[in-house]
Structure 1
Amino acid sequence: MSFQNFEQPYPQPTSQTVLPQIQDQPSRVSGTKRAALGSFGDPTHARHNLTSAASPSVSIASSASPANVLPNGSAAENQYTPGHASGSPAAKRFQVPRACERCKRLRRGCSEYRPCRRCVDAGVADQCQVTAVGPQLNGPGQGNDAQSLHQRLSDLVPARLVDYCTQRFFDRLHPTIPILTMEYVARLRAASISPEGLESLAVLVGMCGQVLLQTEEPEELFQQGVIPEKNLAFGRLLLDTAIAAYQIMPRRSVVSIEMCMFSFFLYACEAVLFHHSRAFRFLRETTTLVLLFRPEEADDTTQLVANRLFWVLLISERSHAIRYRRPITLQITNATPSIDAGDSSLVGFWSLAALFRPIDTSFIALLNHEELAIGPSPESINHIETKVNSALSPGLDLRDTQKANLRVTQLWLRVIIWQLRLHLGYLVEESYQHSLTYRYPIDVAKDLMLSTRDLSPPAFKVHGVGLTEKLFDIASALVDVLARIPLNSTSPRGVAMGTLPEDDLLYLRNLIRKLPGGQTMFDDLLEKHIQQSVPALATRRPNISSPSTLDARGQLGTRGGH
């Protein structure tokens, strides 16, 4: 295989591989080993150059993330009277803005996405914004004191809703983000009854918001009259109200674990809705609060919750940093909270933590092209790769949701390490260590197909858009490799398994289309990337409506048209 036709140094996009709406960036790689590599190898590069219109006054976005297709409901303003569903007297009406400012000014209909179709067609997607962040909590005759704020939040989350969302959290979300315990939830509910427990009530509101936005359950709560709108719409209302409350809640000099948890749930909700810049803001605020929190002064339950929150944040921050090229703040030191590895229910979570342990500050600095006094050595990257490869022990008793997250994340990190080696000029055409070769994404895609074909789409969906982005990164790297090798070429391993690399690509696309943001954003980006890089594969688009797309072995069967 020859790579002599790579004309530009990585990661400068070429005309063959650039994704739609991507703005070129100056190349930050030099050296004779990389002079002929082109844009080959960085599947995340496409996500860091799109203009963001996901939220007001933000600039970061991802071409492969639904930050650009945020559903915001209808053009009309949505009004809801809190307290109505729970039988209490009607309170003031909350108004949640829906239409973007440009469509309001022009008095034109606005679509439910951000940026809306009208702004996109006019070429002003970056101006598609909604001014208000959330509903205004202080109306005529109403103050922002703790008692009135407590009453308004209480009206939104009746006991029946909290019961349901607590159960759904422990069933669906707890295996991945085990930051709550039943004892701690009981404490929150007891404290939330009085205005003095405003922070505890806020945590429950945030938890309910994440459950309604992320678990994608049937609309039984709406049908039973527990909530006045469907899950997604009411989850957005909870988030908007929670953010407005967060902005006016009194701040204590001593940080409480409840404020840490509340801020985390705001981050989680914003991430579900593809508000990546807002999510980063709350993620950074949460890490700051956790660093200021003093667990040694707390009781055992609070310390347990704080320790788990630290590790959830460490994983979230490092994953976010890789996907959006952000710096990190949390580090693993001698003072880092220990993990109770003896708890068998958390074995999947500790495996996830083990995957991100070696992704330290120096690794993130390399990904961000930070100027370092001492450059990295091949041995140091080999050490990180070894840690990632050994993080998942065989034979673990895991749920399907944990299997999906762990398997995809491990393979994604392998691609990230491969990108870094490509950037540093450490790749070769042939090596006994496959991860040192240009073809390595072919092996990664093969492993992903073999290790996930027995899992159903709901096992992936519960993890939200973050997992979809990881799959897109792997698929994009595979497209870059296929653009540089003959299409009839495959590895001996692929021949033995009876599939070609392009079949694995179709499997990936089929899976991506079933996940959050897949059909609205990721698959279209991937299709355009394929059209520009490997036109011969552009017509082989999967048809997810056909049950024969994948046969019993996970191989591609009947394929849909382009």
Structure 2
Amino acid sequence: TSAPVKRACDSCHRRKVKCIGEGTKPCKNCVSAGLNCTYNAIPQKKGPKGSRAKVLSELRETQRQSQLAHGFPDLAFNPHQHQLHRQPGLMSLDLIHTCVDFFFSNMYPMQPILHHQRIQEAIMAMDQSIEAYCMISSLCAYMLIQPNLTLPPTVIPRGPDGPIPNINFGHVLLEESVRVRKSYNHVENPTRYSVITSFFYFSSYLCLDKHNTAWYYLREATTHAQLLGMHDEETYKTGDFIESSRRRRLYWLLFINERSYALHKHRPITLDATIELPTMEEDPTERVQLSGFIHLVNLYKPFDHTFIGLWNKVRTGCLPSWLAEMQTQLSNALPAYLESTEVQAVDLRTSQQWLRTMVWQLSISHGFISSMATDNTMSFKYPIEIARDLITMSSQFSQQAMEVHGVGLIEKLFDVACTLTDVMACVPLEQHSFDIGPRDYLGRFLSIISTLRGGQSRYLALLLQKINEVLPNMAVPLPRGLSATSTPGNARLEDLYEGSTASGSHVGSHEATPFDSPPPMSMP
């Protein structure tokens, strides 16, 4: 008997190219072109069929419409998805696993949105799934752009002058992920990974000081979340507990970041507190304490549409009693004894004092602050108390735990220090020579910002300039090696209150550790 005649698949036959099947389905041409490999067409007579490029476009559009018509709109994990625009060999498995381990060891307590096994599955699916590739590459970019990740020299590529700096290679991965993501429709067919990828883009561009791009991707993440119904409690009643629990946490993480960014950059908000808070019972396999994450959500809950509207000057009408009540809520929001990791405690204590400062700033903008106020939160000296509490707390934390939070922590310290500087310029300061007072707090802020990686390059110079202009004749204790005149001449004062939120570093701290609130101190 004669051997069966080898037949080209439908797509190769239509394109008039050699079908390289090697006995497997799909053939190599269909895999590389992102086409379904079928043998359904009835052989026709030979003749001209048109240009290959035109035929390829027609085939892709026909198959796309067919998939949509048959109820398969999500092309993200299609095993035959084309791999256009990928740069081969850009990420080694060693690099990927290093970045993933770094996230779970350091970032996870405050961003508990991933699951280790599901991430390993995504890594294995990267060759077939564009969505998995983009999510993993965005995660690696986010970890590399943070100023605190230390990589083995063999993990990162080398340039002509040696190993490429983390932030530079992170930027390369970020651009790669953004570019490749354009090759599939994540807008019409979002998934939880779509939301996570957009959030990692937001966090990365935040660290790169590209605030317009960061804002764009934060809004993309919140929009995807709403398209998926993450704001609706009913959507959490289906699906496995791992997926459901991570979706719930992801919504609340976006909730926190949107409100923090709205305060920093005077942006509107879209997410409301419409679903239940996460619980440990949602995922019986969870080993990381969630109380710190839940405390952070509760800190930001009062900053709703009413507050943000007043903050952004798009609405009017505010009572001093309402702002005083917000200050009381913030002061009582955290227990004196935190059962949390040190990384969580740093974020919570710093955010609490920063939010107290934001409420005070809104109070003074409405003319509610008075030197005769009986309520301390409505007095001119209240920012001094906030600064005292924040400096006292910071002395309890290791530098590593503070650096985990990157630029987000530095910006909060910077905001509180700038407010303290303004207050010191207009409030009479009575300080005995041996007392610790506002000048010492300001000197301590300078010291902290100068030692945190990511602070000295931008925020230290801005704070020094602020002090020079507002307190030109006041002697402020400066960190060793710094001069009060060492500020860039072209720094803009309007930049002083700009900021953002992000976090990341290298501190493995999963064990619950108690962190007390600061001891009471007498006012200067």
The two structures share one fold, judged by TM-score above 0.5: yes
Aligned equivalents of 2:433 and 2:122: distance in 1?
Answer: 56
Aligned to 2:115: 181
Matching residue within 486, 493, 496 for 2:428: 486
Matching residue within 407, 416, 427 for 1:465: 407
Aligned to 1:224: 154
Deviations 1:140-173 (A, max 9, x none): xx999942238x2663223222211111001111
Q: CA deviation at 1:217?
A: 2.6
Q: Residues 48-447 of structure 1 correspond to what in structure 2 (within 5 A)?
A: 146-149=81-84, 152=86, 155-194=89-128, 197-214=129-146, 216-220=148-152, 223-228=153-158, 229-251=164-186, 253-294=188-229, 296=235, 298-333=239-274, 336-340=275-279, 345-372=289-316, 375-447=317-389
Aligned to 1:113: none
Retained in 2: the 8 A contact 1:431–1:437? yes
Aligned partner letter, 1:507: R
Retained in 1: the 8 A contact 2:147–2:454? no
Deviations 1:457-492 (A, max 9, x none): 2222221212111111111111111111334x14xx
Aligned equivalents of 1:518 and 1:252: distance in 2?
Answer: 36
Aligned equivalents of 1:429 and 1:475: distance in 2?
Answer: 20
Aligned partner letter, 1:300: F
Aligned partner letter, 2:261: H
Q: CA deviation at 1:446?
A: 0.8
Question: 1:211 is paired with a residue of what secondary structure?
Answer: helix
Aligned partner letter, 1:501: P
Aligned equivalents of 2:445 and 2:251: distance in 1?
Answer: 33
Aligned partner letter, 1:366: L
Aligned to 2:161: none
Question: 2:408 is paired with a residue of what secondary structure?
Answer: helix
Retained in 2: the 8 A contact 1:354–1:388? no
Cα RMSD (Å): 2.7
Task: Give ranges in structure 1 of 5+ residues lacking alignment.
Answer: 1-141, 547-553, 555-562
Deviations 1:437-459 (A, max 9, x none): 01111111111111111212222
Aligned equivalents of 1:541 and 1:496: distance in 2?
Answer: 17
Q: CA deviation at 1:534?
A: 1.1
Aligned equivalents of 1:172 and 1:181: distance in 2?
Answer: 14
Aligned partner letter, 1:504: Y
Q: CA deviation at 1:367?
A: 0.6
Aligned partner letter, 2:313: H
Retained in 1: the 8 A contact 2:327–2:359? yes
Aligned equivalents of 1:304 and 1:463: distance in 2?
Answer: 24
Deviations 1:35-73 (A, max 9, x none): xxxxxxxxxxxxxxxxxxxxxxxxxxxxxxxxxxxxxxx
Aligned equivalents of 1:544 and 1:380: distance in 2?
Answer: 45
**TM-score (ref. length: structure 1):** 0.65
Aligned partner letter, 2:114: L
Aligned to 1:109: none
Aligned equivalents of 1:452 and 1:304: distance in 2?
Answer: 32
Deviations 1:193-246 (A, max 9, x none): 42xx221221111111111111523341xx224544332221111011111123
Aligned to 2:503: none
Aligned partner letter, 1:272: C
Question: 1:202 is paired with a residue of what secondary structure?
Answer: helix
Deviations 1:484-536 (A, max 9, x none): 1334x14xxxx799302101100011111223442222222222221221112
Aligned equivalents of 1:435 and 1:441: distance in 2?
Answer: 9
Aligned equivalents of 2:195 and 2:87: distance in 1?
Answer: 18
Q: CA deviation at 1:250?
A: 2.6
Question: 1:253 is paired with a residue of what secondary structure?
Answer: coil
Instruction: Quickly say closer, same or farther: Cα 1:454–1:497, change in 2 above 3 A.
Output: farther
Retained in 1: the 8 A contact 2:323–2:359? yes
Retained in 2: the 8 A contact 1:153–1:205? no
Aligned equivalents of 1:309 and 1:226: distance in 2?
Answer: 30
Aligned partner letter, 1:340: T
Aligned partner letter, 1:543: R
Q: CA deviation at 1:298?
A: 4.1
Instruction: Quickly say closer, same or farther: Cα 1:449–1:199, change in 2 above 3 A.
Output: same
Question: 2:457 is paired with a residue of what secondary structure?
Answer: helix
Aligned partner letter, 2:446: R
Q: Residues 488-527 of structure 1 correspond to what in structure 2 (within 5 A)?
A: 489-490=430-431, 498-527=435-464
Aligned equivalents of 2:451 and 2:92: distance in 1?
Answer: 33
Retained in 1: the 8 A contact 2:95–2:155? no
Aligned equivalents of 1:535 and 1:209: distance in 2?
Answer: 42
**Rg (Cα) greater in structure:** 2
**TM-score (ref. length: structure 2):** 0.70
Task: Give ranges in structure 2 of 5+ residues lacking alignment.
Answer: 1-55, 61-79, 159-163, 484-517, 519-524
Q: CA deviation at 1:379?
A: 2.7
Question: 1:224 is paired with a residue of what secondary structure?
Answer: coil
Matching residue within 503, 519, 528 for 2:465: 528
Aligned equivalents of 2:157 and 2:291: distance in 1?
Answer: 35
Q: CA deviation at 1:264?
A: 1.0
Aligned partner letter, 1:360: D
Retained in 2: the 8 A contact 1:404–1:460? yes
Aligned equivalents of 1:328 and 1:540: distance in 2?
Answer: 39
